Amino acid sequence: MEILKQEKSDFKKAQIIGGIFVLIALPAIYLLVYYTGGVKYVYSHIMYIPIIISGVLFGPWISLFVGIIGGILLGPLMPLDVETGEPQLFLNWMCRLLVFVVVAFIGGCTSKKLRNNIVTIKQLLSHNQETNIPNTNYLKIFQNKINLYQKTIITILINNHNNIIDVLGTAVYHKLLFTLYDDLRKELSNKFLVVQADSNKFWVIQETRDVEAEAEKIVEIINKEKKINGIPLYVEYSVGIYEVIDHYDFDSLSIFTNSDICARQSQLQQLNYVIYDNSKKKKRFEYEVLMSFSQALKNGEIYLVYQPKIDLETLKPIGFEALMRWNHSRYGEISPIVFIPLIEQTRLINELTNWVLSTTIKKIKEFCERGIPTTISINISAKNLIDPQFLTRTMKIINESKVDKNLLEFEITESAIMINPEESKVILKEFTEEGIKIAIDDFGTGYSSLSYLSRFPINTIKIDKSFVKDITTNESIQRVVKSTISLAKELGYKVLVEGIEEKEASDIVKEYQCDFVQGFYFSRPIKAEDTLPWYEENRKGFKR
């Protein structure tokens, strides 16, 4: 479904670009015809281009309007011969206008009909006609838009589907399939795609995070009680799971074979689920990632993007968080969730942290040169905090750069601090005495309390986005977030809430006296070269 939405979004973009082109083309063609001598020459036929484009993009009525405008521009407003000033005969320009109108209307109607037919054909081909659920043709039609790298493929088999059909009929069974599809669609939190692969089989494609947790979540969703027409159904499922390691382009349905095998194994062994053993492939992938890391830093494969932080009182940007990305030469985009834990297990984390710090300092100085003193935060690893040389090495980079230390912020997770709290306290105190701000990242995901964290020199508490996901509908979460913000403010901390993706969530945390927010509602992470233009465009603040 997301792919169809993306197609609609792409068409909207095409309409915007096409509309701008038509608006520019109409006066441009008028001037071209005028300065080349008038309509007695062939250049007037260029007017068909914006007329046909408007028909293709906007349908008959707007293209009809464009045809009339084009006919008037090249009609009474345009002489037959500019040099002599000879006007056109009424019959001459009126015939041309009528031809423009007919071409515009027929072209618009034809393209609209064709576009609607294509949408209908795609819908018929890509969705099961009984259940209206995407089928395997959906995968084939949109295969160029499906990237399977770092995805988890899940096969769900309904073992007793024949019994359900025999006892309750196909109509009830089809309703069951759609209910299951709807539950998966509503409950899965990561980006996903669900297709009906067979009469008793679903395929789920989901972003890989924690495969075991994803398996448990799927089992929890499908085992929810299913009632059709008020009748509770007994449904028996088998689940197979395959984590894609080295296949990152969708080329055929054979990629689903491993999860299908696991589902059948789950069925035979009467297990909730079976996960494909990927250990050898995974180890090879992890080793290749580590082996190519240092070269990737030099080649620019690893880069930073910057997510804005917004002041809720003024709705103005007050800084950025630097986030890592890796466009691997073989594997494409590797998620930070995948590569950072690997790097953290080695000494390479020191090289990575030094690079992130140096790159961020350059970006801060770039802003300062434009008269915009902007704070940028970077994430500090737990491995950094237990490194005895980390403080010395970090301060050396900062002091040599002569950057304003007040514009640097270090984000550290509460779990990282708890590994060695006394040593962490000493290091953080040194940084704060130098003027560097400290933020606790992902607060709420660990086991520490605000009262315990008050022992540490902290400026900001960042409430994890997992608390915000259902804040607009879940009163329990609202109470937790409200009390957390209230206590943090009493302890003298600033509070930032992550993961704000809609206005209502922003309004709720503002009501709770939250200071700052981050999230897609205001901005996705921005490429380095786009940060200054973005800031200039939004420095006066977002509209409420």
> Which residue bears the tokens 């009182």?
313
Beta strand extents in 220-370 (DSSP E only):
226-228, 231-233, 237-243, 273-275, 302-311, 317-328, 332-334
In the prediction, which pLDDT does 15 show? Answer: 86
Count of H-run helices and E-run strands, the chain: 20, 17
Interval 333-352: pLDDT, tens: 888 888 999 999 899 999 99
297: Cβ–Cβ under 8 A, 6 or more apart, which residues?
A: 351, 352, 355
Measure the CA angle with vertex 181, ends 176 and 186; round to 5°. Answer: 125
> Which residue bears the tokens 């979460």?
477
Q: What are the tokens at 497?
A: 């809430």
Residue type, 465: K
Rounded to an integer, what is the distance from CA 307 to the centroid of its chain? 13
Q: Which residues of the chain fall below pLDDT 70?
A: 1-9, 142-150, 189-191, 246-252, 445-449, 451, 544
In the prediction, which pLDDT does 126 show? Answer: 80
CA distance 423 to 429: 10
> Which residue bears the tokens 């403080």?
391
Instruction: Say if strands 408-413 and 375-379 run parallel, antiparallel, or are unpaired.
Output: parallel
In the prediction, which pLDDT does 255 show? Answer: 79
In the prediction, which pLDDT does 217 show? Answer: 87
In this structure, are residues 179 and 235 in contact, taking their beta carbons and an 8 Å threshold? no
Ordered structural domains, the chain, with CATH: 2-126 (no CATH), 136-277 (3.30.70.270), 289-537 (3.20.20.450)
In the prediction, which pLDDT does 149 show? Answer: 62
Rounded to an integer, what is the distance from CA 506 to the centroid of its chain? 19
pTM: 0.60
In this structure, are residues 133 and 178 in contact, taking their beta carbons and an 8 Å threshold? yes
DSSP alpha helix (H) spans, 314-347: 336-344
Maximum CA pair distance of the chain? 93
Q: Output the CA–CA distances (angstroms, integers) from residue 446 to 377, 418, 429, 450, 537, in the order listed.
A: 21, 9, 22, 11, 37
Crossing angle (nearest 10°) for helices 48-58 and 2-35: 160
Give one word for 36, left, alpha or beta, with left for phi > 0 and alpha for psi -120 to 50. Answer: alpha
CA distance 49 to 104: 10
Interval 90-122: pLDDT, tens: 888 899 899 999 999 998 899 889 888 888 887
Q: Give pairs for 142-148: CB < 8 Å, separation 24+.
A: 142/3, 143/250, 143/251, 145/3, 145/6, 146/3, 146/193, 146/205, 146/250, 147/248, 147/249, 147/250, 147/332, 148/205, 148/244, 148/247, 148/248, 148/249, 148/250, 148/255
In the prediction, which pLDDT does 146 show? Answer: 64
Collapsing DSSP states into helix, strand and coil, what is residue 27?
A: helix
